[in-house]
Amino acid sequence: MIDLPGITKVPVADQPPDIEFQIREMCTAYIGNPNSIILAVTAANTDLATSEALKLAREVDPDGENIYDEIMVKHIELLCVAYNEHPEI
């Protein structure tokens, strides 16, 4: 398992000006492997339509054969339903 960094948009401190490009290239090199399983992690309070991780994953795997993004969303939805039905939990 390889935990890749989030895609930095604004260079800080001593990061190079092209840090976003460098991170994208590194991530693409790993997730572009057809044997990779891509777990596109997005914060629960973020709209999936704006997810950089999911966008990048779909760029390298347009058919979604190796992308697992829906699992977490469905799990979170089930937790919300359970909490709404049983808030004492």
pLDDT tens per residue, range 33-77? 988 888 887 777 777 788 888 888 889 988 888 877 555 555 555
Q: How many domains does the chain have?
A: 1
The whole-number pLDDT of residue 7 equals: 85
The whole-number pLDDT of residue 83 equals: 60
In this structure, is residue 24 part of a structural domain? Answer: yes
In this structure, is residue 67 part of a structural domain? Answer: yes
In this structure, is residue 31 part of a structural domain? Answer: yes
Helix (H) or strand (E) holding 78: helix 70-85
In this structure, is residue 11 part of a structural domain? Answer: no
In this structure, is residue 14 part of a structural domain? Answer: no
Name residue, tokens 């829906």.
70
pLDDT tens per residue, range 1-29: 777 888 888 999 999 999 999 999 999 99
Task: Identify the DSSP state of 2.
Answer: -
Domain that holds residue 58: 19-85
In this structure, is residue 1 part of a structural domain? Answer: no
Q: Is the alpha carbon torsion for 44, 50, 53, 23 positive or negative? A: negative
In this structure, is residue 54 part of a structural domain? Answer: yes
Identity of residue 18:
D
Name residue, tokens 């997810």.
51
User: Which of the residue ranges 21-25, 34-38, 79-83, 84-88 would you say has the lowest mean pLDDT?
Assistant: 79-83
Closest of 62, 22, 19 to residue 38, by C-alpha: 62
The whole-number pLDDT of residue 52 equals: 85
